[in-house]
Amino acid sequence: METSKDAKKIRVVICSGTTCYLMGASELFGLEKALGEPLASRITIEGSPCMNLCKGGEYGKAPFVKVNDALISTATVHKVIEEIRRQASL
Amino acid sequence: MLYNNNATHIRRELLVKLASLAFQGTLKEKIDRVPLQMIPKGSPSIRCCIHHDRAVIKYRLMAMLGFSVERETDELRLLSSYAEEALERTEVEDPVLTVIDEACSACVQSHYFVTNACRGCVARPCVLNCPKKAIQMINGQARIDPSLCVNCGLCQKVCPYHAIVKVPVPCEEACPVGAISKDSQGKEHIDFSTCIYCGKCMSECPFGAIVERSQMLDVIRALQSGKPVVALVAPAIVGQFPGDYPQLVNALRRLGFQRVYEVAEGADTTIQREAEELVERVHRGEPFMTTSCCPAYTRCAEIHLPELKPYISTTKSPMLYTAEKAKQEVGEGVLVFIGPCVAKKEEALKSRLVDFVLNTEELGALLVAKEIDIPHCEPETLIETPSAGARSFPLVGKVSQAVAEKVQEIQVRPFVVDGIDRQNIKVLRQAAKTKPDGNLVEVMACQGGCVAGPVTISKPNLAAKKIEDWIRKSTVQKSAREGQEATQEANQEANKEANREKVPVGLGKH
C-alpha cells in the first residue's frame, strides 16, 4: 500500500474562531449532509481554532475554509462544495 | 429564517464595527463614515442605488446605538450626534424592537398568484372550486381577479400542477398575534400594545427591516466604567459559540465581566418552586398549570389569552432568580443578561433588576472587536454546578421534564406546546376552555425551544447537540468530584426514572 485511505481524502478545514463562527462558520458544519454521496465519503471535515486570516483583511472576509491548499473566504456551503467538486474531478 | 443570509451578515459586520469603535473610544469621530465604508463608491447596489443602501445602513446603526428609528424627527441628524446622546444616557427604554421604514420594501399585500406552470388544463379545478368566481382563463392560463379573491387558498390546494402560489408578507405571516401591519404607504408598523416580542417578524423579514434596539453600547460603557459588571448567561448560549462553556466564561472575564453566573442556577430554583406550585395547584383541584419561563408566552397570555392567565405558574423565570442572587452578592454591580431572546430584553426592562441585555450576536461582536478567540481561552473552574435538568431548559420539552422529575406526590403529565404560532394559540385557547391532555403545560414561543431563538448563531440542531454534550461532560466531572455522594444520586436517578416512565409527552405540534 502506497497511501492510506485517509491520505487520499480531500481535507476540509473550517475555521471555528469566534469571528468565523459569528460570520457563518457554524452553518458550514452542515456541509457533509449538503454534499451527499459519493463525495461525502471522499472528504474529511475538521474545525480549527482561529487561523488568523481575519485580521487585516488581506485574505478577504470571514468565514474562512481551507479545502486542501485552497483558501476560501466568505465561505458558504455552496462555495465549499464547488471547490470540493473541482478538486475531486482533478 | 434560520439559514445563512446577507441581511444577517450585514448586521453582524456592523455590530463588530460599532463595538470596535466604541472600545477604541472613536465612536463619535468615525461612525458617520461607516455607511460609506460598508458601501463604497462603485460597489454594486442591493436596493435602487448605493445611496439608498447607505441610508439603510445609517438607520441600522441608529438602532444599534439604541434608538427607535420611528422616532427620528430630523433626517439630517448625523449618527455622530446620536452616538453622543447614546454615550451620555443612563437608562435604556422600550420598545425593544424598531422598524426601519427605509428598509421595508412595502411587500405587496399577501395574495395568491397563478404562475407560468399553469397548463390551462381541461379539468380546471381552480375555476370550478373558487367560491367567489374570481378565476378566469386568459390566454390559456388561469388568472385571479384580486378584486374578487378572498385569499381562501382553495385554488392552490386543488391545482394538480402546484401552479398557484401564495405570495406572503413574511413579517405579517410570521407574527402570531397580528401585531404588525401596513400603513397607508404600505410600510410595516408594529403595534407595541399587542406585540409579544417573540422576534419572529425580525427573523423572517428578508429585507432586515425589523431590528432590535441594541444595548451593546451601554454594556461597553459599563465595562469601561470601572463598576463591577456581572454576566448572567442563559443556558442556550452554551450551544452558540465555539469552544466549551468554561472557555466562554474565561472569554467573558477577559471582556471585563467581574463574575459570570449561569442562569441555569436560577433555573434550579424555578424547577423547585414550579414543582411545589404544581402539587399545590393539583391538590387544590386545578386541572393544569402552565410554565412561566418564556416571557413571550407570558406576555402573549397577558394580552391575547386572558382566559389562560389563572393557570400560569407564578414562579419567576430563571433570569430573575439568578439576577436576585447576583444582586445580593455583588450589590451595586451592573447586571447584564446574555441570551438568544428578544422578549428577555423586555422582561429585563420591566424587572428593574437586570440592567442590560446582550444577545448572542452582540456578545459575538464584543468578542471579535476585542480579538478574543474562545477556542484559545483557558477554561475557568466553575463555582456553581447547576443540575442537568436546569442546563437543558433551552431544549423543547425539557422544562416540563425537569419539573416532572422533581415531583413525587402526584403523577405529572406534561403537555408541550412547541412554538407560538396562530395554530398553537388556538390550541392554548382550547386548553383554557376544556382540559388539556396533561396537567403541566410547557409553552415555548420559539419552535424547538430557546436554542432556536430569534438571535442565534448556530443551527438549532447543532446547538442542542452541543448543550447535550456539555451536560454529559459536566455531569461526569461533577460525579467524579462528588464520588462520596454517588449512592445518594443513584437513588435520586432511580426516582427520576420511575417518574419518567409515568409521563406521556403530548407534543402540541402541528
What ipTM was predicted for this assembly?
Answer: 0.83
A19 touches chain B (CB under 8 A): yes
Band (pLDDT 50/70/90 cuts) for residue B499 is very low
Task: Kindly provide the residue ranges of all beta strands, DSSP E only, lying in B208-250, ordered along the sequence.
Answer: 210-212, 229-233
Separation CA B450–CA B392 (nearest Å): 10
One-letter amino acid at A31 equals: L
Looking at CA atoms only, how far is residue B375 from chain A in angstroms? Answer: 6
Quick one: average pLDDT of B101-105? 93
Using CB atoms, pick whichever of B3, B242, B361 lies closest to residue A16.
Answer: B242
- Answer yes or no: do B242 and A21 touch at CB < 8 A: yes
Of A47-56, B384-393, B484-493, where does the model show the most confidence? B384-393
* 3 state SS of B19: helix
| Mean pLDDT, rounded, of chain B | 91
* 3 state SS of B276: helix
Band (pLDDT 50/70/90 cuts) for residue A34 is confident
Residue B211 backbone phi and psi in degrees, to 5 = -135, 165
Contacts of B75 (CB under 8 A, 6+ apart): none
Separation CA B501–CA B497 (nearest Å): 6
Quick one: average pLDDT of B167-195? 94
Strand-pairing partners, residue B80, are: none
Nearest to B353 by CA among B322, B315, B390: B322
Q: What is the pLDDT of residues B24-61, one digit of tens each?
A: 999 999 999 999 999 999 999 989 999 999 999 999 99
Separation CA B372–CA A19 (nearest Å): 9
Looking at CA atoms only, how far is residue A69 from chain B in angstroms? Answer: 23
Lowest-pLDDT range of A6-20, B115-129, B386-400, B443-457: A6-20
- Answer yes or no: do A26 and B8 touch at CB < 8 A: no
Quick one: average pLDDT of B446-472? 94
Cα separation values, B243 from B11, B249, B407, Å:
23, 10, 35
Look at residue B505 in the predicted model and tell me its pLDDT.
39
| Mean pLDDT, rounded, of chain A | 85
Separation CA B393–CA B401 (nearest Å): 9
Asked if B415 and B494 touch (Cβ cutoff 8 Å), the reply is no
- Give the A:B interface size as CB pairs under 8 Å: 60
Asked if B425 and B305 touch (Cβ cutoff 8 Å), the reply is yes
Looking at CA atoms only, how far is residue A68 from chain B in angstroms? Answer: 22
Asked if B21 and B27 touch (Cβ cutoff 8 Å), the reply is yes
Band (pLDDT 50/70/90 cuts) for residue B2 is very low
Read off the C-alpha cell for B499: 417518574
Lowest-pLDDT range of A58-72, B127-141, B265-279: A58-72
Band (pLDDT 50/70/90 cuts) for residue A1 is very low
Strand-pairing partners, residue B232, are: B261, B337
Separation CA B166–CA B205 (nearest Å): 16
Look at residue B384 in the predicted model and tell me its pLDDT.
86
Quick one: average pLDDT of B170-181? 96
Lowest-pLDDT range of A2-11, B111-120, B390-399: A2-11
* HSE toward the beta carbon, residue B330, CA cutoff 13 A: 24
Set of chain B residues whose Cβ sits within 8 Å of the Cβ of A21: 241-242, 364, 457
Band (pLDDT 50/70/90 cuts) for residue A57 is confident
The residue assigned the cell 402552565 is: B290
Cα separation values, B49 from B39, B43, B52, B61, B79, Å:
10, 10, 6, 19, 21
Looking at CA atoms only, how far is residue B454 from chain A in angstroms? Answer: 15
A26 touches chain B (CB under 8 A): yes
C-alpha torsion B469→B250→A29→B10, nearest 10 = 140
Nearest to B204 by CA among B427, B8, B436: B8
Give the Cβ contact number of residue B410 at 10 Å.
13
Q: Which residue does chain B place closest to A76, by CA atoms?
A: B4
Give the Cβ contact number of residue A47 at 10 Å.
17
